[in-house]
């Protein structure tokens, strides 16, 4: 008897064990488990045989990576952002790409708002005095500021931006935003669209939620920071390279803005001797926007399910290049009615 081989999925780094176990119920997994980054040439070699790739954001996914991978039917990654992926290259190669929108919205919004709240009240600096037994020595100039009656300006108002805006309104803030195009639901979310310069001049907190693209690369440069209020807080939960890091350091040092709170930096990780780490008025966390147990599980399972679907040429649940996503097989009317009956739907009117 000829045993049909299971499709092969390459995983070039660490993924939580429970999800790998789930993936292995459906496919063969070849995983790079070394602590060092998988060399690109080795990855390309492994991909020659592979049906699917679980990509990670430190890998450039492009035409070169997939050119000698004739069986590759799907690539998926456990993140909503895909700035490491050349989608057009994959589309040209006929490979659907799955990301993880939706499941992380509330979690990333919680982190963004946690940064805003922690920075506004200088939580880290104040807590450090208590922790170090220096409660009474705390200088009076680390007072912080109110969020109520202040304006939050969100640049890149997608689903996560909307979730942040709900939290901001609960704190009594006014929310304005800038996108390439004005949204059509401003009334619903009680948000106001502004041109970029007006947003920068108006906002007490400027929060970057945009994706990294050719257009947004280094959008926050020296000019950008000069247009902000001197008292403003700058928050980045989008991507590090949207910000010109040298310009941010200058703006913080020269008092052009008051404070920065960053979940993402350029580069990542920041080397221990990076000048950004010497800046006092800057709070940095290590890209933990979606990093809660539940959400990382949901993102990993969505990625696993996109891969399982793709290797079987079935539609990915969340596909960026939807135009080449696999289609649901067409059903004839008889089979469709049978399916509905099986699901308990009364189909007498259709018979
Ligand atoms: C993403 O999914 O792109 C986020 O950066 C995760 O935190």
Q: Hey, is 219 helix, strand or coil? A: coil
> For the chain, how many structural domains are there in total?
2
E strands, the chain, are 8-11, 28-31, 52-55, 74-77, 97-98, 151-155, 174-178, 191-193, 205-208, 233-236, 259-262, 282-284
- What pLDDT is attached to residue 349? 62
Cα 79 to averaged position of ligand 1 atoms, centre (Å): 5
pLDDT tens-digit readout, 2-18: 667 899 999 999 999 99
pLDDT tens-digit readout, 89-98: 999 999 999 9
Q: Hey, is 146 helix, strand or coil? A: coil
Cα 289 to averaged position of ligand 1 atoms, centre (Å): 6
- What pLDDT is attached to residue 341? 81
Asked whether residue 312 is domain-assigned, the answer is: yes
- What pLDDT is attached to residue 342? 79
Q: Ligand 1, residue 237: give the atom nearest the CA.
A: 5
In which band, very low, low, confident or very high, does the pLDDT at 350 lie, cut at 50, 70 and 90? low
User: Annotated catalytic, 268?
Assistant: yes
Cα 81 to averaged position of ligand 1 atoms, centre (Å): 6
206, 277: one domain:
yes
Q: Ligand 1, residue 264: give the atom nearest the CA.
A: 5
Selecting among 34, 45, 268, 278, the annotated active-site residue is 268
68, 16: one domain:
yes
Q: Which of 82, 289, 295, 299 to mutate to test the pocket of ligand 1 (most atoms within 8 A of CB)?
A: 289
52, 144: one domain:
no
Asked whether residue 342 is domain-assigned, the answer is: no
Q: Ligand 1, residue 299: give the atom nearest the CA.
A: 2
In which band, very low, low, confident or very high, does the pLDDT at 190 lie, cut at 50, 70 and 90? very high
Selecting among 178, 239, 256, 296, the annotated active-site residue is 239
Mean pLDDT of the region 219-240? 98
Range of the domain at 35: 8-101+293-329
Question: Residue of the nearest CA to atom 4 in ligand 1?
Answer: 79
Using CA atoms of 211, 81, 318, 111 in order, give the dihedral in degrees to the nearest 10. -90
129, 229: one domain:
yes
Q: Which of 78, 80, 105, 291 to mutate to test the pocket of ligand 1 (most atoms within 8 A of CB)?
A: 80
- What pLDDT is attached to residue 287? 98
122, 227: one domain:
yes
Asked whether residue 349 is domain-assigned, the answer is: no
Decide: 260 and 282 in contact? Cβ < 8 Å: yes
- Identify the residues whose C-beta falls under 6 Å from ligand 1: 79-81, 104, 289-290
151, 203: one domain:
yes
Asked whether residue 350 is domain-assigned, the answer is: no
User: Annotated catalytic, 239?
Assistant: yes
Question: Residue of the nearest CA to atom 6 in ligand 1?
Answer: 290
Domain boundary among 230, 251, 284: 284
- What pLDDT is attached to residue 351? 52
Per the DSSP assignment, residues forming a β-bridge with 154 are 177, 207
Cα 293 to averaged position of ligand 1 atoms, centre (Å): 14
Mean pLDDT of the region 63-71? 98
Decide: 207 and 154 in contact? Cβ < 8 Å: yes
297, 257: one domain:
no
129, 193: one domain:
yes
Q: Ligand 1, residue 79: give the atom nearest the CA.
A: 2
d(CA 48, CA 43): 9
pLDDT tens-digit readout, 78-125: 999 999 999 999 999 999 999 999 999 999 999 999 999 999 999 999
| Residue with more model confidence, 341 or 323 | 323
Q: What is the CATH number of the domain that holds 323?
A: 3.40.50.720
Cα 212 to averaged position of ligand 1 atoms, centre (Å): 11
Residue whose entry in the numeric block shows the structure tokens 């209020």: 229
135, 203: one domain:
yes
User: Annotated catalytic, 178?
Assistant: no
Asked whether residue 87 is domain-assigned, the answer is: yes
225, 260: one domain:
yes
Q: Ligand 1, residue 287: give the atom nearest the CA.
A: 7
Asked whether residue 346 is domain-assigned, the answer is: no
Q: Ligand 1, residue 239: give the atom nearest the CA.
A: 5
Asked whether residue 341 is domain-assigned, the answer is: no
Selecting among 150, 178, 287, 296, the annotated active-site residue is 287
- What pLDDT is attached to residue 329? 76
Cα 269 to averaged position of ligand 1 atoms, centre (Å): 15
145, 280: one domain:
yes
132, 234: one domain:
yes
Whole-model pTM? 0.91
What percent of the chain is modeled with pLDDT above 70?
98
Asked whether residue 347 is domain-assigned, the answer is: no
Compute φ and ψ for 303, nearest 5 degrees: -65, -45
Question: Residue of the nearest CA to atom 3 in ligand 1?
Answer: 81
Cα 130 to averaged position of ligand 1 atoms, centre (Å): 33
């Amino acid at each position: 008897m000829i045993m049909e081989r299971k499709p092969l999925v390459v995983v070039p780094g660490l993924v939580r064990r429970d999800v790998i176990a789930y993936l292995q119920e459906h496919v063969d997994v070849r995983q790079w488990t070394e602590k060092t980054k998988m060399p690109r040439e080795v990855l390309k070699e492994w991909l020659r045989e592979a049906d699917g790739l679980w990509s990670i954001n430190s890998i450039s996914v492009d035409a070169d990576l997939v050119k000698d991978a004739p069986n590759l039917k799907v690539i998926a990654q456990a993140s909503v952002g895909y700035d490491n992926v050349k989608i057009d290259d994959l589309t040209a190669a006929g490979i659907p790409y799955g990301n993880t929108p939706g499941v992380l919205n509330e979690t990333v919004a919680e982190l963004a708002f946690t940064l805003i709240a922690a920075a506004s009240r200088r939580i880290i600096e104040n807590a450090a005095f208590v922790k170090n037994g220096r409660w009474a020595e705390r200088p009076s100039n680390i007072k912080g500021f109110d969020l109520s009656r202040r304006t939050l300006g969100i640049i890149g108002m997608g689903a996560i931006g909307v979730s942040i805006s709900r939290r901001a309104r609960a704190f009594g803030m006014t929310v304005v935003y800038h996108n390439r195009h004005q949204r059509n639901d401003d009334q619903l979310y009680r948000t106001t669209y502004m041109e970029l310069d007006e947003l920068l001049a108006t906002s007490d907190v400027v929060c970057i939620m945009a994706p990294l693209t050719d257009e947004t690369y280094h959008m926050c440069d020296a000019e950008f920071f000069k247009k902000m209020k001197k008292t403003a807080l700058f928050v980045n939960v989008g991507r590090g390279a949207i910000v010109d890091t040298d310009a941010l350091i200058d703006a913080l040092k020269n008092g052009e803005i008051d404070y920065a709170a960053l979940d993402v930096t350029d580069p990542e990780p920041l080397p221990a001797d990076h000048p950004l780490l010497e800046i006092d008025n800057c709070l940095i966390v290590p890209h933990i926007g979606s990093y809660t147990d539940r959400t990382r599980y949901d993102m990993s399972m969505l990625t696993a399910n996109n891969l399982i679907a793709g290797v079987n040429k079935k539609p990915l649940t969340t596909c960026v290049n939807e135009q080449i996503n696999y289609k649901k097989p067409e059903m004839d009317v008889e089979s469709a009615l049978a399916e509905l009956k099986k699901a308990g739907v009364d189909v007498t009117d259709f018979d």
